[in-house]
Amino acid sequence: MPRLSDSEIQELYAFTRKHNVVYFDLQTELVDHLANSIEEQMFLDSQISFNEALNKEYKKFGVFGFLDVVEKKRKAMSLRYWKVVLGFMKTYFKPPKILLVFSFIFALTMIFKAINIEHRYNVYFSLLLIISFGVLTFRFISDKKYNKETLNNSKQWLLKEQIYSFCNYVHIINLIPIMLNLTFVSDLIAAKLMFEELFFAILITTLMMLSYIIIFVVPQKAEKLLEETYPEYKLITKN
Amino acid sequence: MSMGNSKLYKGSLNTIILKLLDERGKMYGYEITQKVKELTKGELNITEGALYPALHKLEAEGLLDVEIAKVDNRLRKYYKLTEAGEKETVNRLQELEEFIRSMQNLVNPNWSIS
């Protein structure tokens, strides 16, 4: 079986980059795939050139090429990311932390109850906005840090990018004030149909815990998570 | 190959991958594509663009684990079943067998006069 040279392997890396695969782990997997196919084609047909064989194999990925693979990889990685976040979240629902969480919810409920019903909606809304702005500010800082780091290091890792950009949390949190601005929600509150103080106390506490985990806890554990996710991470970053 | 045929296979791509890994221990992406094509005798025209997303999803679900090895002058990513993956393989194969059995009954009912 013919074997591709080092420079041909580098050419394949360049090929994946040219076709919108920016993440190193995905590049590596696709390079190995392409290389295997090219070697096999060259073995079966000694006349075929490297580029011909490469294009033939690339066509098998369909009209969208690698785009679909990258997009679905992103989805799969988000799932992993949220599993990690939920894992940390669970630790808040075990003693002794759970006592703290419940007392906080109770205290918030009491404070909301003490506020005049006419102003309550504004209070909820302002608190949610403050959380939203807080997350956005930290995202801005975190993005800057990530960009600076990746500038020095040419290899990009999808999970690292998701950790530092808080995955899709920013989109989720920005939707909440918009959803609450819908008139039917404010009508519900005004009509006193729900146990609304408790509902908002739980919502705000949950968002605060989630934000804390996503902004501080997960990035702190980034290196460990990356090593667990990518067996090649240590290999590459140590060299 | 008819379109319907390919659809039937597509639904079981994950099961085929799990079963393959169960039999062979660890495999890499290219090896899996070749083996799947061989097993389905070309009936299942799974594109490479469908195989990798399926692998990555199974990995994210915790059913597969990955290993990296340097082979020749490049890195190779191997997939293998996790413990949860082994259990899931048994479940899915059972489900598939049941499905096949009920389809057989539907296609070829066992007429009996009692």
Using a CB-CB distance cutoff of 8 angstroms, which residues of chain A are in contact with residue B53?
A: 68-69, 72-73, 76
pLDDT of residue B99: 85
pLDDT in tens, A130-145: 999 999 999 999 989 8
pLDDT at A124 over 80: yes
Q: Which residue would you say has higher pLDDT here, A184 or B36? A: B36
pLDDT in tens, A36-73: 999 999 999 989 999 999 999 999 888 888 998 999 99
Give contacts of B 68-87 with A, CB under 8 A: 68, 71-77
Cα-atom radius of gyration of chain B, to the nearest Å?
A: 17
Contact residues for A77 (Cβ-Cβ < 8 A; gap 6+): A158, A159, A162, B56, B60
pLDDT of residue A238: 60
pLDDT in tens, A73-122: 999 999 999 999 999 999 998 888 899 999 999 999 899 888 887 788 78
pLDDT in tens, A216-229: 999 999 889 999 88
Q: Which residue of A has its CA nearest to B52?
A: A69
Torsion, CA A229, CA A232, CA A235, CA A236, rounded to 10? -100
Burial of A197 (0-12, 13-18, 19+ CB in 10 A): buried
Q: State whether residue B57 sits within 8 Å of chain A by CB.
A: yes
Asked whether the beta carbons of residue B77 and residue A76 sit closer than 8 angstroms, the reply is: no
Listed in order, strand segments (DSSP E) in chain B are 26-28, 64-71, 74-81
What number is the average pLDDT over the span B69-91? 92
What percent of chain A lies above the pLDDT cut of 70? 92
CATH number of the domain at B8-105, please?
Answer: 1.10.10.10
B82 and B62 Cβ atoms separated by less than 8 Å: yes
Domain boundary assignment for chain B: 8-105
pLDDT in tens, B29-48: 999 988 888 877 766 666 78
- pTM value? 0.83
